[in-house]
Amino acid sequence: MSLPALAELRRRGPLLAVGSRGFLDLLEDSGLVDRALAYETFGPRRSWRTTWRVARAARSVGVGQSVAFPPSLRAAILTFLTGAPVRRGFTGDGGGPFLNFSRPGPVSRTRHLVDQWLELVESEANASSTPSLVVGPKGTAGYARLATELAASGHQLSDNWLVLAPGATYGPTKRWPARHFVSVAQQLRGRFGWRVLVVGGSDVDEKKLCGELAMATDGVSLAGQTDLPTLAAVLSRARAFVGNDSGPMHLAAAVGTPTLGIFGSTSPVWTAPRGPLAAVWGPHAVPCSPCFRKTCPTQIECLEQLPPDGAVSAVEGLLASAGSAS
């Protein structure tokens, strides 16, 4: 969702990106940034010493403007330590004193995050608010490697895949029941003859979920086997994508694949996939949605009661739009 804001900044001049290594690989491969500095904000590498080290590296380059997308104190301090005369960000988490061009924070859940980030960089009226990503050489090479590995195990990686993403690191309130994904896959496979490809992260539970879904749909699981550039390449060649409100959903829409995002506890107003071939299914109408909770005190009715037939119809609508567009 940060892609439109990053593209606007890149249009104005050279761009140095600071963030997680996986995300930086994706940005570098697509040609959106000129330089990158890895900065892990979770886990054992999270420390103020690391923050200063990254800021010092940025200072050595010479930074005219620094933009903090997360509404966090640490991000605001990092922008200050870079020495940039212009420091933009949200005032949430006490970071306001370190910024000189700020917007009230935290970010609002009643407006799309893409638009809020565009406003943060003071984009011009003609800036595109549709995320767009080009698959680069690393992604293309990763796809070729993956195709070779699958061929060795008896699977042909072609362009005739339906990609499913049943996981969500946020928690179970974002995860549509696996049986609904199975129903969608069976119906679409019966109509179009597609194979099923399941994607996800390297987390043990998510790999198990993806493996079980692949087995139930006679498909293939790639959980934990793709970096982000390779995943972008895989998604760009898919016939369609169906997945929970998650990173793969936004990535699929950004590379132009017909994308259906499943929503339950979160709000499409805030984080729906964007693009001419992107749509949303859900949440099921219950008074408590969106609650933005990671766990549900009842039975996650917003997702449990969301019927798969509606998702199938939505995918068919996206395919019809894709056909008319071409």
Q: Quick: pLDDT tens for 204-231.
A: 999 999 999 999 999 999 999 999 999 9
Residue 122's pLDDT is 84
Q: What are 3-49's pLDDT values in tens digits? A: 999 999 999 999 999 999 999 999 999 999 999 999 987 766 668 88
Q: 137-325, superfamily in CATH?
A: Glycogen Phosphorylase B; (3.40.50.2000)
Residue 125's pLDDT is 63
Q: What is the CA radius of gyration of the chain?
A: 20
Could you give the dihedral angle defined by the CA atoms of residues 311, 252, 296 and 287, in that order, rounded to the nearest 10 degrees?
A: -50
CB hemisphere CA count around 153 (13 angstroms):
10
CB-CB contact of 176 with 164 (8 Å): no
CA 231 remoteness from chain centre: 11
CB-CB contact of 172 with 206 (8 Å): no
What is the CATH number that goes with domain 3-120?
3.40.50.2000
Per-domain residue ranges for the chain? Answer: 3-120, 137-325
When pLDDT is cut at 50, 70 and 90, the band that residue 324 belongs to is low
Q: How far apart are CA 121 and CA 124, in angstroms?
A: 9
Judged against a pLDDT cut of 90, whether residue 86 lies above it is answered with: yes
- Domain 137-325 in the same topology as domain 3-120: yes
pTM higher than 0.85 for the full model? yes
For 316, counting Cβ atoms within 10 Å of its Cβ (0-12 exposed, 13-18 middle, 19+ buried), the class is: middle
Residue 326's pLDDT is 41
When pLDDT is cut at 50, 70 and 90, the band that residue 325 belongs to is very low
CB-CB contact of 172 with 166 (8 Å): no
Q: What are 244-301's pLDDT values in tens digits? A: 999 999 999 999 999 999 999 999 999 999 999 999 999 999 999 999 999 999 999 9
Average pLDDT over the chain reads 93
What is the phi-psi region of residue 80: left when phi exceeds 0, alpha when psi lies from -120 to 50, beta otherwise? alpha
